[in-house]
Structure 1
Amino acid sequence: MDVAGVTFRRIALPDLGLHVAEAGPDSGVPTILLHGFPEFWYGWRHQIGPLAASGLRVVAPDQRGYGLSDKPDGLDAYHLDRLAGDVIALADSCGFPTVRLVGHDWGGLVAWWAASLYPERIERLAILNAPHPGIVGDYMRHHPGQWLRSTYVGLFQIPGLPERLLTADRCRVLRRALTTTSRPGAFAAADLDRYVAAWLQPGAMTGMLNWYRALVRLPRANPPRVRMPTLILWGRQDTALQAGLAEASLTLCDDGRIRWYDHASHWLAHEEPDAVNADLIDFLA
């Protein structure tokens, strides 16, 4: 895939293999980028080059269940503890004692959780439109509007049906979801073709949905605080996540701040790449 300066390899973790995109100097500060649903490493296509050019060593995996990475069976394989553990196992496999961690959407939930569970391994944390998992349940109880925005998660719990719905007609529902919830032009036709190819990998749609199916099993009481410097980038026009989730997440941070994007949606890294890249480079490098 023609993202300048990016190389690819498969990295064997103790219990599965991940396909990763890499860029930047070997001696650069290790920086892991975690995509969300329904993306894969390519969701960071606007960020990888500029971050690498700033001197960071960038590693962007297809997370488990996605793209060309392994897709283990069963919901237990997608428990948030396992997903956070993949971040640390990936750092270990790359020889990184510590990393700077960036996550968007589901990748943001994983990044929050890894930062809470493994604070000694995460130097800096940057989150794009993703709440800390520890605040979501309480927030939804007090903000029914967010509960209404999240009803699709209930649909995803049904075995088999969402897979058929989301893969029909070259994944028409997902393609439409990306284009109707983002600014016009954020996802070009050629980009959507690449997403479709990733979504139609054998087992991928079930793996992707299993993240949601496993989440309802997660006990989220009294999450550990986030100790490292934390930057939350949040597009206020997000149709799925209320901005209050960013503020609630900030209350768990010892050293955090929010940078609001008033005119960006959930897909701010695609809609405002130059500004997002500048904010990330300023914070990470």
Structure 2
Amino acid sequence: MPNTPTPPPSDPVVDALREAGCVFAEDEARLLRDAARTPAHLDALLRRRVAGLPLEHLLGWAEFAGCRVRVAPGVFVPRRRTEFLVDRAAEVTGPGSVVVDLCCGSGALGLALATRRPGIRVHASDIDPAAVSCARDNLADLDGQVFLGDLYAPLPAGLRGRVDVLLANVPYVPTREIALLPPEARLHEARAALDGGGDGLDLLRRVSARAEEWLSPGGHLLVETSDRQAGPAVAILRADGLDATAARSPDVTATVVLGSAPAR
């Protein structure tokens, strides 16, 4: 009678993650083991992950557009779909471009764009002190400037009318839909990084209203939205004097609204 192969031993870390609903349990187990300093530390990380803490907050970093981005507890974790915004921004970013990232969070957009387009000058702002701290670390090697404050308010006045590329991954989840978000986002990321108001477009309206004032002639504004918000968002940018269109990526289920200032 042939010998029956002995099944490989189960991995208790993978098993615990899988039972908690982690889709990529094997990958997460490897990352947690790499991050753990001791077996006791691994146990602590695993308990927190199983309890629902985002993996990126446990690791202290997120992978985004080929970059390792520092994130801290409570800070918005950059999503893979937002790489589409970086793709579109790279198409309109030239050498020496002045780039501003509003609602910058961890600074992931500025970091990713500067990695693809070396030599650009990145400025960013956010209202969350924890996010600004992460962004300053992430942009430090690029000499990026990160300001604490609301949208345009903390930016140097000398940037007005000189911004070539304005990135704004604004919160766009309608308030009533916050409760429907996955617990990792709903419970562990700042609500201000998620809540876009009644129709999800409150922050986009505020960005659009002053975009032409800050953009250079022919400069570009890029904003992420949901697919159903794309039409209203395009209308908002056009009403504020920008030539606007929407672009969609079915591969990552992403929608970006692009506005261009007049070449005055």
Relative contact order, CA 8 A, sep 6+: which one is greater? 1
Per the shorter chain, which TM-score range? 0.3 to 0.5
Bigger Cα Rg: 2
